[in-house]
Amino acid sequence: MASTAPVPGGPSVPDDANALAPLVWPSSAARDASGRIVIAGRDAASLVAEFGTPLYVVDESDVRARAARIRRAFDDAAASIGTTVTVYYAGKAFLSGAIVHWVTDEGLAVDVCTGGELAVALAAGAAPARIGFHGNNKSAAEIERAVGVGVGVIVIDSEIEIERVADAAARAGRVQPVRLRVNSGVHASTHEFLATAHEDQKFGVPLDRAVELGARIRSHASLAFLGLHCHIGSQIFDAAGFAESAERLIGVHAELSREAPVPELNLGGGFGIAYTAADEPAPIEEIAMGIVRAVADGCREHDVPVPKLAFEPGRSIIGPAGITLYTVGTIKPVPIDGGVRHYVSVDGGMSDNARTALYGAEYSARIASRVSDAAPALVRVAGKHCESGDIVVDAEYLPGDVAPGDLLAVPATGAYCWSLASNYNHVPRPPVVAVRGGVARVIVHGETEQQLLARDAGLEASDASNDRPIEGNPA
């Protein structure tokens, strides 16, 4: 396979197309003497021999360490300004019973945004008082259940939800703690942010209505108003956007505090991770300290006590701890300006990682079953689905001798890959395997074709020999 020049805006040609960028891979990732990628003591080839491909692999110790580090970072930062903090794990990134156990063991609360996520958290033993419930369109049944089980806080996302939550709490004979989600007008991503007057989006209420709606919440004896909540974006690499948002929120927080105490302020999550070697997020300790200093400055300016703080990291805990393993199927050279791009097709794709197709997300990849001294070649890792947009890695350099049967590893897939997985083209969703200390175990079972067929009610009407027509169809 011939090498090719770099594409404009794409990755640079690496000196070593076998190297594992430290920030991108799980902390335990390395190559063994045979050149195979090893995660938490298990090499990729042995994992595939046992569980097949595609395969999600999660380093349990890495998840735990990241959860503990983020909690310590915010604990220490909050203590430096004389307050405390609650760190929620944002379950939408990836939620399973094992994940709930890991993050709660490390001292985190759990954030959910649907009845299904609430069910997982409760079934895994999360304390209801340590659960926060988000969502822009919570059903009456979801609200009833959340109130009934004693969820610690419900985030009110719209004016109409005030009455819904208040009525549910009154019927349950409970005073339900709530926060009010507001839009600060700050939009942040990576190292850039844009500050505007208003946001045009489905979440939250305008900041200039927070005082009015806070009074509405306080008018209900069945609700306890804890404070404001705001989320400014995702994949954020520094504290600047959070600081701007905090400054705006604290002015309204102070106004609300003149009527009655406002004990908390939740500034959301969205802390970014490295998906490629070019990504350089600031250390979480630096981000945490930058945010809390902005909070302290704002409270000093408005002469209000520093509230208890809350944050909701998800991706930054689970994302870098996960990889996805694939088997290479076909390789197709395609001429492009300046050279050749090689389409390396794998046995998964947008059904197990929709982010590239949905958001244009960038990923990297490495051959996991061996190393090679072949010159780097420009590749695009494609999936097996019947869509031209079924791309896993848009642009990467792999050794030029990448071949059918090679195992390919895509790092930083712990967040939003399993969560967004589908059965497009009737492809079963892969299993999730956790590895710790050289021991691998399934934490989410993969699906089989038989399980997909079992859900098809139309097939239930046919007998085993397919002699009888499907019910409802003409003979």
User: How does pLDDT run across 91-114, given as a tens digit for each residue?
Assistant: 999 999 999 999 999 999 999 999
Assign 6 a pLDDT band (cuts: 50, 70, 90): low
Cβ atoms of 384 and 427 closer than 8 Å = yes
Is 386 considered catalytic here? Answer: yes
CA 314/CA 432 separation, integer angstroms? 17
pLDDT of residue 168: 98
Largest CA distance in the chain: 80
- Nearest Cα to 381, choosing from 396, 367, 393, 399? 393
pLDDT of residue 189: 81
Q: Is the pLDDT of residue 131 over 90?
A: yes
Which of 182-196, 271-285, 460-474 shows the highest mean pLDDT? 271-285
Helix, strand, coil shares of the chain, percent, nearest 5, are: 30, 25, 45
> Average pLDDT for residues 344-350, to the nearest whole number?
98
How does DSSP classify residue 280?
-
Q: Is the pLDDT of residue 458 over 60?
A: yes
**Would you state the structure tokens that stand for residue 134, as one six-digit string?**
């988000």
> Average pLDDT for residues 78-93, to the nearest whole number?
98
> Average pLDDT for residues 287-307, to the nearest whole number?
97
pLDDT of residue 337: 86
Average of per-residue pLDDT values in the chain = 94
- Higher per-residue pLDDT: 14 or 352: 352
Q: Check 113, 230, 299, 386 and give the catalytic one.
A: 386
pLDDT of residue 465: 44
pLDDT, one tens digit per residue, over 168-226 is 999 999 999 999 999 998 888 877 776 665 678 889 999 999 999 999 999 999 999 99
How does DSSP classify residue 277?
T
pLDDT of residue 289: 98
pLDDT of residue 5: 56
Q: Is the pLDDT of residue 444 over 70?
A: yes
Q: CA end-to-end span of the chain, whole Å?
A: 55
Q: Is the pLDDT of residue 475 over 50?
A: no
> Average pLDDT for residues 331-360, to the nearest whole number?
94
pLDDT of residue 460: 82
- Nearest Cα to 259, choosing from 221, 320, 217, 231? 217
pLDDT of residue 9: 67
Q: Is the pLDDT of residue 20 over 50?
A: yes
pLDDT, one tens digit per residue, over 366-409 is 999 999 999 999 999 999 999 999 999 999 999 999 999 999 99
- Nearest Cα to 418, choosing from 464, 357, 354? 354
Assign 468 a pLDDT band (cuts: 50, 70, 90): very low
Per cent of the chain over pLDDT 70 is 94
pLDDT of residue 471: 42
Length of the chain: 475
Q: Is the pLDDT of residue 327 over 80?
A: yes
pLDDT of residue 339: 86
Residue 261: CB atoms within 10 Å: 12
Burial (CB < 10 A; 0-12, 13-18, 19+), residue 462, is: middle
pTM here is 0.93
DSSP per residue over 425-440, as a string? Answer: GGPPPPPEEEEETTEE
CA 208/CA 198 separation, integer angstroms? 9
Per cent of the chain over pLDDT 90 is 89
